[in-house]
C-alpha cells in the first residue's frame, strides 16, 4: 500500500505558467487587458468558434449565456439533474425555473427522450452538460431544440477538448460555456470561456460581463482608450484578469498533450478493470472524442458486500483520494423541498448516485500512482466480492 496520500487532483503547472504570470505581474497591467485578448483569440482558434469571451468562471459564463438569449421571469430551462449546482442556479439569477431531467444509464448524460417530456409552453432553452467530458447526444438535442424553437446552451465545464461527430464542442450549440476551475482539464485557478458564432449574443455577453459598459470598457485606462464610457445595461462584474489569462495561454498550449495523457490513462484503467464484474468502466460512444476530465466507475452493488460510501472509505484507507460527481440536484434539500421532486422521478440518476466513484485522473500522476489506484480498487473488490 502507498504510504502518502494520492490527492484526487493536482493541477499541472510548471515554469512556463510561472514565468508567464510573472511577466504579467511585472507588466503593470493586472486586470483584463492584452493577455485576456490573446487567450480569447487563441481559444476561439483552438475550438474553431467565431467568438470567445473570457470570464471569471463557468458559472458566470452560463449566467451571461442565459441572459443573452433573453431568459426572463417565468421561463423554464431544461437542465440535467446529474450536474453541479452552477448549471441550475444561474437560471434562478434570471428569475426563471430550472426543470430537472434524468440521465441515460450508460453515459450519464441528459436523456433526450426525457427532455421531450419535460417541454412545456414556457420552455425556452436546454442546457446539456457533457458529463465527465463525454459529449451529449447532440443530434437528438439539436433536433428537439429546432422543433420547439429552443436555444441550446452547452455546459462544457468538463468538455475541453471534446468532439461530437468530429465537431469540436464549442461550435455545436448556440453558446458553449467552459470552466478553468482548478480541477479542470486546463486551469486558470478560477475562470471560464464562452464561445459562440452569433455576433449579437457575443456583443451582449461581452458588454454584460463588465458592468454593461459600452465596448472596450477595459481600455479606459490605456493610452488608446478614453475615460468616457456609457452604461448600456445594468451588467455584472465577470471579467477575467490578465494574471489568470497568463496562466490560461500557457495551459491552452498543452491542452492536446494533456488530453492525450489522460486518454492513455483512461485506457490503462479500462484495461485493468475489464475483468472486474463488480464495476463498470466508462462507456464511450464511437461518435465522440471524450475529454476525459473525469474517470467515473459504476459499482455493480449486487456483486459487492459493501456500499459505495464504504468503497470510498476503503480507498481512502489505502491512501487514494476520490470524489463523487455528482449528488443529483433533485436529492438536495433546496430542490427537493421547493419543487417536491421525488427520487423515483429520476430513476437513472438516483440509482447511478449510489454506484458512482470518480477515480484520480490527471497528468501529474505517475504510472506508479496509477498502478496504486488500480491495485487499491482491485484489492477492495477482491476483499468484498459476494
Ligand atoms: C458541470 C459543471 N458546470 C459548471 C461548473 C461551474 O464551473 P466554475 O467553477 O468555473 O464556475 C462546474 C464546476 O465544477 C461543473 O462541474
Q: What are 207's three cell numbers?
A: 458588454
pLDDT tier at 224, thresholds 50, 70, 90: confident
Is the pLDDT score of 231 beyond 80? yes
Tell whether ligand 1 has an atom less than 6 A from the beta carbon of residue 238: no
State the pTM of this model: 0.97
**Per-residue pLDDT tens for 326-346?**
999 999 999 999 999 999 999
pLDDT tier at 219, thresholds 50, 70, 90: confident
Contact 138, 144 (CB under 8 A): no
The stretch 205-234 carries a mean pLDDT of 86
Tell whether ligand 1 has an atom less than 6 A from the beta carbon of residue 176: no
Q: What are 213's three cell numbers?
A: 459598459
**Per-residue pLDDT tens for 136-172?**
999 999 999 999 999 999 999 999 999 999 999 999 9
Residue 95 in 3-state DSSP? coil
Q: How far is the CA of 27 from the centre of ligand 1 (A)?
A: 31
Tell whether ligand 1 has an atom less than 6 A from the beta carbon of residue 133: no
| Alpha-helical regions (H) of the chain | 15-27, 34-47, 58-68, 85-93, 112-118, 138-148, 199-208, 242-253, 255-273, 308-317, 333-339, 347-355, 367-384
- Which amino acid residue places its CA nearest to atom 7 of ligand 1? 58
**Per-residue pLDDT tens for 94-110?**
999 999 999 999 999 99
In angstroms, the first-to-last Cα distance of the chain is 23
204-238 burial code (b ≥16 CB/10 A, e <16): bbbbbbbbbbeeebbeeeeeeeeeebeeeeebbeb
Residues in a beta bridge with 101: 80
Tell whether ligand 1 has an atom less than 6 A from the beta carbon of residue 154: no
Burial tier of 239 (Cβ tally within 10 Å: 0-12, 13-18, 19+):
buried
Pocket probe mutation, ligand 1, options 84, 136, 328, max atoms within 8 Å of Cβ: 84
Largest Cα separation within the chain, whole Å, is 72
Phi, psi angle pair for 382, to nearest 5°: -60, -35
Amino acid at each position: 500500500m502507498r504510504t502518502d496520500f494520492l490527492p484526487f487532483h493536482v493541477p499541472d503547472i510548471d515554469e512556463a505558467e510561472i514565468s508567464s504570470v510573472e511577466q504579467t505581474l511585472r507588466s503593470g497591467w493586472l486586470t483584463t487587458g492584452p493577455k485576456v485578448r490573446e487567450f480569447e483569440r487563441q481559444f476561439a482558434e483552438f475550438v474553431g468558434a467565431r467568438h470567445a469571451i473570457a470570464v471569471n468562471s463557468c458559472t458566470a459564463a452560463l449566467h451571461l449565456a442565459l441572459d443573452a438569449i433573453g431568459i426572463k421571469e417565468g421561463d423554464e430551462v431544461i437542465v440535467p439533474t446529474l450536474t453541479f449546482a452552477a448549471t441550475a442556479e444561474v437560471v434562478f439569477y434570471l428569475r426563471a425555473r430550472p426543470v430537472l431531467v434524468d440521465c441515460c444509464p450508460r453515459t450519464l448524460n441528459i436523456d433526450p427522450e426525457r427532455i421531450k417530456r419535460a417541454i412545456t409552453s414556457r420552455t425556452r432553452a436546454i442546457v446539456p452538460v457533457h458529463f465527465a467530458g463525454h459529449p451529449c447526444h447532440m443530434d437528438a438535442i439539436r433536433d428537439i431544440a429546432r422543433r420547439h424553437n429552443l436555444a441550446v446552451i452547452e455546459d462544457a465545464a468538463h468538455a475541453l477538448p471534446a468532439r461530437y461527430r468530429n465537431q469540436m464542442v464549442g461550435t455545436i450549440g448556440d453558446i458553449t460555456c467552459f470552466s478553468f476551475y482548478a480541477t479542470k482539464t486546463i486551469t486558470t485557478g478560477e475562470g471560464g470561456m464562452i464561445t459562440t458564432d452569433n455576433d449579437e449574443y457575443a456583443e451582449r455577453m461581452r458588454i454584460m460581463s463588465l458592468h454593461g459598459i459600452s465596448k472596450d470598457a477595459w481600455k479606459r485606462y490605456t493610452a488608446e482608450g478614453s475615460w468616457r464610457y456609457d452604461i448600456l445595461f445594468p451588467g455584472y462584474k465577470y471579467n477575467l484578469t490578465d494574471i489568470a489569462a497568463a496562466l490560461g495561454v500557457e495551459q491552452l498550449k498543452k491542452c492536446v498533450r494533456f488530453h492525450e495523457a489522460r486518454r492513455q490513462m483512461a485506457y490503462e484503467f479500462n484495461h485493468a478493470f475489464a475483468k472486474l464484474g463488480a464495476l463498470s468502466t466508462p462507456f464511450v460512444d464511437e461518435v465522440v472524442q471524450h475529454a476525459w476530465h473525469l474517470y467515473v466507475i459504476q459499482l455493480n452493488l449486487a456483486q459487492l458486500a459493501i456500499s459505495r460510501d464504504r468503497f470510498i472509505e476503503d480507498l481512502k484507507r489505502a491512501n487514494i483520494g476520490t470524489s463523487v460527481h455528482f449528488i443529483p440536484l433533485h436529492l438536495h434539500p433546496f430542490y427537493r423541498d421547493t419543487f417536491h421532486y421525488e427520487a423515483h422521478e429520476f430513476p437513472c440518476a438516483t440509482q447511478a448516485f449510489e454506484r458512482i466513484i470518480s477515480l484520480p485522473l490527471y497528468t501529474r500522476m505517475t504510472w506508479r500512482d496509477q498502478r496504486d489506484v488500480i491495485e487499491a480498487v482491485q484489492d477492495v473488490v477482491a476483499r468484498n466480492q459476494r
